[in-house]
Structure formats: C-alpha cells, structure tokens
A = this chain, B = another copy of it.
Amino acid sequence: MTGAGAREAVEDQVFAALANATRREVLRLLRDGGPQPVQALADHFDMRRPSLSEHLKVLRDAGLVSEQRSGRQRIYRLEAAPLAEVQDWLHPYERFWRERLKGLGELLDRMPDDGAT
C-alpha cells in the first residue's frame, strides 16, 4: 500500500525538516557551497557538533541530504527531490496568490458581506 497515507507521512517529514532555521541553513550551505564534510558545515553554527549531527539525521531521514563516506569524513550533499515534491504540493495553491496579487480576489472574495466600510 504505497498509497495516500504514506505520502502524507513523507510530507510531514519534509515540512518538519524545513521548519527549523538551522536545517534550512544547512541546505543553503550545501546548495551554495557544494558537498561538504560535517566540520565545514559546523563552522557556520553556534552550536555543539553533536546537535548539528542530529539535524543532519533529520535531513537524511527526510531525504533532503545524502552522505558519502570519504576517509574519516562524511561528505553531505543536497538532495533536492523532496523539494520538488513540495513544489508539486504548492501548485494547486498558486492560482490563489496570483489572483490575490492581481487585486481581483481581494474585492470579489469579500463582497458577500460588510456594509460598514
């Protein structure tokens, strides 16, 4: 049953992983700086390394990064596929903010009531 419930769980994991500034910053560092060992990432944070290790685990579990061992280092790499799924999730909402930005929805949606301007 690789059905609907499974997808929800995956989305939970991805959104939850993104709901943290440190983890988003890790993704940005991997995006802008390319694959890096943990040490290099850790330099950017005011946090003990084991804590960062746990953030990396969250990102790994969400499929947002992968690790590749190289000697005693582990090179982390951005894996953007789950972000593509986030974009897919966003798609059906797109027309709502486009409407809003055109300034049409603002008026149309609020018509039904309100007489005291």
Contact = CB atoms under 8 A, between A and B. Distances in A.
Contact of A77 (B21, B87, B109): B109
Interface of A: 8, 11-12, 15-16, 18-21, 24, 27-28, 31, 34-35, 68, 70, 77-78, 80-81, 83-84, 86-87, 89-90, 92-94, 96-97, 100-101, 109-110, 113-114
Contact of A83 (B20, B77, B90): B90
A19 B16 contact: yes
25 contacts: A11-B21, A11-B24, A15-B15, A15-B18, A16-B16, A18-B19, A19-B19, A24-B89, A31-B96, A77-B109, A78-B93, A78-B96, A80-B93, A80-B94, A80-B96, A80-B97, A80-B100, A83-B90, A83-B93, A83-B96, A83-B97, A84-B97, A84-B101, A86-B90, A87-B87
Contact of A8 (B11, B21, B89): B21
Copies of this protein in the assembly total: 2
Which label, helix, strand, loop or mixed, suits the secondary structure of the A interface? helix
Nearest to A16: B19
